Chain A
Amino acid sequence: MILIVAEHRDGGFTPVTQELVSLGLRMGQDLGVPVVAAVLGHEVGELARTLASWQVDRVIQIDDPAFSEGSPEPLTAAVETVIKNESPAFVIGGHTSDSMEVIPRVASRMKRPLIGGCLGYERHGDRVLFTRPVFNAKLHMRIVPRGEPPCFVTVAPGTFAGDALETGPGVEPESVAVDVSAVTVRRRRIGTGEAVRGEVALDAASVIVAVGRGIQKAENLSVVRELAEALGAPLGASRPVVDAGWLPRDRQIGSSGQTVAPRLYIAVGISGAIQHLVGMRGAQCIVAINKDGEAPVFKVAHYGIAADLFEVVPELTRLIRELRAGSAAAECFGAGRVSLALRASTGRVRGGTALCGELRG
C-alpha cells in the first residue's frame, strides 16, 4: 500500500496535500496497491472527511492536541507508529517547511531511504525509479531505493497537478489512537509571524521583470531596472538577489516570497529553481533570458533567449523604448492606436511607483 501523510494548517489542507493525493492515487493504480491517507492533528474530523472525498481507499485520523504545538517529536512518533501498523511500500509527504520537520526524522529513525523533492517516477518491472532535482534543478537524478520498504517520497508544492482530483462520497475515516504522552518534547512554538509585506504590489502588476543571480552584482541592476522602467513594470527578484541584499525582501518571488501571475513575466538571469518557478509559472507569457540554455527556467518559458543578459537586455530596452515612443506619437493619428498608448502611459505611472518603493525599501 501507499501511505500519504496529509499536511494541514489553520484548519485547512495546504495546497501540497492535493498533489500528494494525486501522486499517491496514480502510483496506487500503476502498482496495483491500495492508497491510504493519514491526517494527524487536533480536531481533524472535517479534514479526514475531505481526504476521503478524494477517493482514497482508506483514511486514518489521529487526533491529539500534542500535534498542534509545533513540536516535531510527537508527530514523528505517531507517523512511525502508523507505518509500523500499516507496512506501506511508499510513504508520501510534503517537501515543505512543516512536513520536512517530521519525515526525515521518521526515515532516519527507521533507516529507510528518502527521495526528497520527487519530480516523478517510472516503473521498470518490479523496480521503481524516482526522479529528483540536483544542482539547483539544473540536472535530474534518477534513484532506486534499496533495502526493505518503506521508501519515503517527498513532494515540493507545485510539482504535480493537484486541482484535478475527482471528488465523491468517500470512505468512513478510521480513528486511531496513538499515545504520544511519553514522547520527550525538546521544542515549543512560542509565536508566529508574517514576513514584512512590501510596498511594491508585485501581485497586482500586469508586467513584471524579475532578476536573478545572473546579474552578478548590485551595480549591474541598472541594466534590468531600465528594462522594467521601459515596460512600466516593477522589478522582482529570485531569492539569491534578495539574500545578497541587492534588492529588498519584498521583491522576492517564489515559494517563500510572493506568488504572481502577470500577463508578461520576463525572467532575466534566473536559472529557475522550483521554489522560484512555483511563484511565477502562472504568468500568461514567460520570457527567459539566461546564458545557460539548459537552465530549468526554460522549462516553463514560452520564449527563451540563451545568451548573455548584458548583451540582450540593453538591446531589448532600446527596442521597447522605441516602440513606446512610437505608439505615444501615434496617439493623435487614430483611435486604433489609443489603447496601446494608454497602456504605455499607465505603465509609466506604475514604473514610477516601483521606483519610489525601491527608494523607500
Chain B
Amino acid sequence: MLKIVVCMKPVPDVSTRLVIAEDKKWIRDQDLTFGPGEADEYALETALRLAEDRGGEVIVVSLGDDRAGRVLRTGLAKGAARAIHLADPLLDGGDEYVTARVLGRAIAKDGGADLVLTGVQSDDLGTGVTGIMLAELLGWGHASVVIGVDPEGDRGTIRVRRELEAGRQEILDLELPAVLTIQYGINEPRYASLKGIMAAKKKEIRVWTAGDLGFGASEVGRAGALYEVNDLLLPEQRSEVRMIAGSPAEAARTLVELLRREARAI
C-alpha cells in the first residue's frame, strides 16, 4: 500500500496577458483565473495510476488561499483520497527553499509518505527545484524530469525513466521513500467525473497554518525567503525585430514581400 503525496501549486493561466503589479514585486493576479500547474496535473495522474497499479492512496497538498483550496478539490474529484491545505497568509511569498521546507514539515506531520510527486516546474516561478530541495530536506532520494514510471516494482523501490538534454534518457532504480518531479506530457491526465466531483465533497481536507507546523513568522513566506524580489520587468525585445503592423491581410502581404526582397528567404 503506497502512500503517495502530490504537491500542487495554484498558478494563474499564463496564456492570458500578464500585468506587473504597482509595487513591481509580482503580477496583478486578482482577476486572473487560477488552476493547478500544468506539470502538477501530470504528477497527479502519475500518482493516481501508480496507486491503482501498485495499490495505495493519493494525498494532495497545496499551499495558498482559496485558490489552493480549489486546486485541492479538483485533485479530490479526480481520485485523491484526502487533502492537506496549508492556508496561512504567513506562508505567502516564499521562495522555492521555504516552500520545500513547509511542504516537508507538512508531509512529516502527516506521518511521512512512500512517494512525493511534484510537477517538473511551476508555471509561475518555473525554477524546477522545489521538489529536489524537498527531497534533500526530507533526507530522501529523488529523480527529476521523470518521463516514465514503472507500474510494477518491489516493495521499497521504484524504477523510473528520466529525460536528459538532446533526446538522451536514463533509467534509474530509487529506494523509497523518494521524490519524483514529473515532466510535462508523461501521460494523459483524466478529467474529473461527475461522480468524482460529488464524492470529493465528502473527502477530508486538513487545514494547517504555519504555527501548526511549528514555524515562526520569520521562518516562512516572504520573511523566510533566501532571496528578495527586487522587481518584475518586461523582457527587452531584440532590437532587430521588425514588427509588422496593419490588418492581418496587410501584415501577411508585407511579410511575404520582406521575405522575398529583403531576407530572400522564399
Contact = CB atoms under 8 A, between A and B. Distances in A.
Interface string B225-266: 111111111111110111110001101110110111001011
A209 B122 CA distance: 28
**Residue with the greatest number of chain A CB neighbours at <10 A, chosen from B145, B170, B240, B258:** B170
Nearest to A101: B144
22 contacts: A98-B165, A100-B144, A105-B133, A108-B133, A111-B226, A114-B96, A114-B226, A116-B128, A135-B27, A138-B18, A139-B235, A188-B173, A193-B169, A193-B171, A194-B168, A255-B166, A259-B166, A302-B242, A302-B263, A305-B255, A315-B253, A316-B255
B232 A287 contact: no
B124 interface: yes
Interface of A: 14, 70, 72-73, 76, 96-98, 100-101, 104-105, 107-109, 111-117, 129, 132-147, 151, 157, 186-195, 197, 207, 213, 231, 239-240, 242-245, 255-259, 263-264, 284-285, 287-288, 292-294, 296, 298-308, 311-312, 315-316, 318-320, 323
Given A257-B167, A285-B263, 14 more contacts: A134-B124, A136-B123, A139-B27, A140-B233, A142-B233, A146-B227, A187-B174, A239-B184, A245-B188, A264-B263, A285-B259, A304-B243, A319-B256, A320-B256
User: Which 5 A-B pairs have CB atoms at the shortest separation, nearest pair first?
Assistant: A186-B141, A243-B185, A116-B127, A311-B248, A113-B226
A136 B14 contact: yes
B260 A323 contact: yes
Interface string B51-76: 00000000000000000000000000
B248 A96 contact: no
Contacts, number: 257
B199 interface: no
B265 A305 contact: no
Given A285-B259, A298-B238, A303 B244 contact: yes
B192 interface: no
Given A108-B97, A187-B175, A100 B128 contact: yes
Nearest to A108: B133
B163 interface: yes
A257 B123 CA distance: 20
Contacts of A97: 144-145, 162-165
A138 B256 contact: no
B225 to A, nearest CB: 7
Number of chain B interface residues as a range: 35 or more
Given A97-B163, A134-B124, A139 B238 contact: no
B129 interface: yes
Given A187-B173, A194-B168, A302-B263, A143 B229 contact: yes
Given A70-B172, A304-B242, A315 B252 contact: yes
Contacts of B144: 97, 100-101
A68 to B, nearest CB: 12
Contacts of B172: 70, 187-190
A190 B169 contact: no
Interface string B66-104: 000000000000000000000000000001110010000
Interface in B29-58: none
B132 interface: yes
B154 to A, nearest CB: 13
Contacts of B235: 133, 137-140, 294, 296, 299
B248 A312 contact: yes
B14 A135 contact: yes
Contacts of A115: 227
